A and B are shown apart, each in its own frame.
Chain A
Amino acid sequence: GNSVTQMEGPVTLSEEAFLTINCTYTATGYPSLFWYVQYPGEGLQLLLKATKADDKGSNKGFEATYRKETTSFHLEKGSVQVSDSAVYFCALSDQLRGGSQGNLIFGKGTKLSVKP
């Protein structure tokens, strides 16, 4: 079945460091890929998405490119800030299922802590 695997956390970085959080997926069909973020005490929020191969999603300095050949959607940011400390979730939706686009398959989440 469809699944998402993302790197184990926690990840601890200093401010202005480069961030990569790896995400790979297994899916039949042509899923859309997402990164959601959960700040402390809040719900998950959509950070960025990509709906087809080679698309790049970007938001708030974060980027991820949909790589069909490596089945990956790694999250990157060139210079992290303390305010980026949160849990990051990679997710996919399988458009071929024909069901609601809300039926997402998530990874376990990666906790990022950024120190000043």
Chain B
Amino acid sequence: EPEVTQTPSHQVTQMGQEVILRCVPISNHLYFYWYRQILGQKVEFLVSFYNNEISEKSEIFDDQFSVERPDGSNFTLKIRSTKLEDSAMYFCASNRAVLNEKLFFGSGTQLSVL
């Protein structure tokens, strides 16, 4: 079965630094998402992306966050100035269509902000 690929699997950064988390969604998918899970807490929706623009975002997704699909394959999440509380597992996901409810998730990037 095709997979969503995320890199790196673990990223360590200093507070205040910019980080870019990378994802390669499944090639024929049109909708892309980022979720995160802070240790011991719920998996939280961050943002959805379709047709080269954000279709929906949560309250968590403030001005420090941005997403981009710089080419036909990659989907990135940028955090401009990381805070300690940004430490979490970040999951990328994709699906083919809005009515197709099955999401395909990557294995996640563990971000540690020191």
User: Which residues of B are interface residues toward A (Cβ below 8 A)?
Assistant: 3-4, 6, 31, 33, 35, 37, 40-45, 48, 50, 55-56, 91, 93, 95, 98-108
Closest to B56 in A: A99
Out of B40, B41, B44, B91, which one reaches A43, CB within 8 Å? Answer: B91
Chain A residues with CB below 8 A from B31, complex form:
100, 102
* Known pairs A100-B48, A100-B56, A102-B95; A93 contacts B101 (CB<8 A): yes
A-to-B contact residues, CB < 8 Å:
4, 32, 34, 36, 41-46, 49, 51, 89, 91, 93, 99-109
With contacts A43-B108, A46-B103, A99-B55 known, is A106 near B50, CB below 8 A?
no
Is there contact, CB below 8 Å, between A43 and B105? yes
Of chain A, the residue at the smallest CB distance from B32 is A102
Main secondary structure of the interface of B (DSSP, over half): strand
Chain B residue at smallest Cβ distance from A97: B56
Q: Which residue of B lies closest to A3 (CB)?
A: B42
- Residue of A42, A89, A101 ringed by the most chain B CB atoms within 10 A: A101
Hey, which chain A residues are within 8 Å of B43, CB to CB? 44, 89, 91, 104, 106, 108-109
